[in-house]
Structure formats: structure tokens, C-alpha cells
Amino acid sequence: MLGGPSEEREVSLKSGAAVAKALRSAGHIVAEIDPKTDEWKLPKKTDVVFLALHGAYGEDGTVQKRLDKLGVSYTGCGAEASRIAFDKVLAKQKFIESGIPTARYEVITTPSAHWVRGWNPPVVLKPARQGSSVGLQMVYRVEDWGTALAESFRHDTLVLMEEKIEGRETTVGILGGEALPVVEIRVKKGVFDYHNKYTPGASEHLCPAPFDAATTAKIKTAALGAFHAIGGRDYSRVDVMVRPSGDPVVLEVNTLPGMTEVSVLPDAAAAGGLDYVSLCQRMIELALLH
């Protein structure tokens, strides 16, 4: 399944095309389904659905619920874990309950909200239920608050405000319940937003990330903790900031991470000795266990 109705449709089409090509090269018979509406049907004798969807419908538990009803195996996290991870507020609550280090935050419920008392810039604004940094806004001055907030609210009815963590940006792929080599992301210009995520050459991935063994272990532990906190299964990608002190801060869990040629999870798998085709095959094997 690729494409779908979300704001991340174009990226999903790229992920799906790459996955379909890989699976065919491994000898599988592959049908491509684009669920633009809820009217889709699976081909008869479907063994497993590879979810290359991103964003709403594909990553928020909706399609997973329907596949559960159909009794068909699918890749990635189950419906409830997907729903929790996709909602940044629910995910935050799970992190805090489980003692996972995460950024200080507030939930903003209206685009007319004033600057929150007791806070100083810089802060980050994120639509609560979007992926791929859609609607992400950095606020460095209080006077820019209104414009940034309005932009974030264009993408959802709830916005998460977080402290901006200063430090190094990392992400940890999880496959079969184990952490893959840590990836450090260095953006050439600006922040790791939608443009920089999906434009070849806009950012570089250092894998394995150049941290000492103790810091690497802390990052992996925080990522796995976050994955378990939301009830994850099979695979995900966890975004973790690392403060100058070496302390990790979990940002979010991505339950259907990108699978394009510039995506991070395939890079991490390759560093762990798994090429792209083998990674896709492993994802299918994990799905068939459920």
C-alpha cells in the first residue's frame, strides 16, 4: 500500500515504489494499492500487506484497524500503537509514564493562544497529528509566535509546543525488537524539516553516529524504551536529540518510517549489515508472525 490521502502522499509513493521493486527482485508477486479513499480492496490470496504509507490514515492506526478486521497480516506496528505514536500528545504521556527522557512541553488548543507564561524562546511548534515535520515551526522571538502558531494550526486542531533542545540530532531504527546502529543527522542548512528530509544532498547521515560507547548505549536504551512505551512491534524509527552533556531526549516514534533512497532507516540497516532488499524481506517475515 502506497500513496494514500495524507499530506505525505508524494513521499509515500516514492517509498512504495522502492519497496515494490525490492520485493519483486526477491521473487515476490506484488500488487500496488493506493488507498486514496476507503474503497480499496485487496487482491485474493493476499499473504501480507506491506504498509509504505506515511501520515494520516496510514500511520495513525486507521488502515491497521481495517486490516485487523480483514484478518490480514501487515508490516509495522499494530493499530493501537500506531494511534498513540501518531498523536504526539498521547506519545508524550506514554513516555513520561514510562520514565523516558523527553522534552518539556505544553499543548496549545487554539490558534489565538497567547505566549505561554513561564516559557522563554526558542520553542518548537508541531501539529499534534502529522508526520515528516509537516507544519513544524521554530519560534526564536516572542513576536513571531502568532504567525508560527497559525501555520502549525493549518495542519491540525491541536499543536504541541516543546522546548527547543540544543544538541545533536539522532535517530534510531528498531528492527525485530533490537536497535540498529545510531544515525546522526547533520542538516546543511536550517532544520531537519520536510524539505531537508526528502531532498537528496540537503542533509547527511553519519552511521554509526560518532559517539562514545556509553553515550551510544544511552541513546539506544532511550529509543527502545520509547518504542516499548507506545506498545511498538516489529520496527520503527525513534528520533532522539542528544544534549551536549550526552543525555538523550526522545522526540517521537515513527511507526512507518520512510523507505525512499534518502531515508534513514535503510541507511541504519545497511550499517547493521542488512541491504535494502533484505530489510524489506525481514519486515515481511516479522509481519507474518502475527
151 counts as catalytic: no
pLDDT single digits (tens) 1-35: 999 999 889 999 999 999 999 999 999 999 999 99
Q: Which fold has domain 165-287?
A: D-amino Acid Aminotransferase; Chain A, domain 1 (3.30.470)
- Tell me the mean pLDDT in the region 139-149: 97
Q: Domain 105-163 is of which CATH architecture?
A: 2-Layer Sandwich (3.30)
Q: Which of 15, 60, 173, 198 is catalytic?
A: 198
Instruction: Give the residue carrying C-alpha cell 531515508.
Output: 263
> Would you kindly state where each structural domain of the chain is located, as residue ranges?
9-83, 105-163, 165-287
- Local confidence band at 168 (pLDDT 50, 70, 90 cut-offs): very high
Q: Which of 59, 156, 252, 267 is catalytic?
A: 252
196 counts as catalytic: no
166 counts as catalytic: no
57 counts as catalytic: no
184 counts as catalytic: no
Q: Domain 9-83 is of which CATH architecture?
A: 3-Layer(aba) Sandwich (3.40)
Q: Which of 74, 237, 263, 276 is catalytic?
A: 237
Answer whether 0.85 is exceeded by the pTM: yes
In Å, how far are 147, 203, 226 from 143, measured between CA atoms?
9, 30, 34
One-letter amino acid for residue 216 of the chain = T
pLDDT single digits (tens) 45-87: 999 999 999 999 999 999 999 999 999 999 999 999 999 999 9
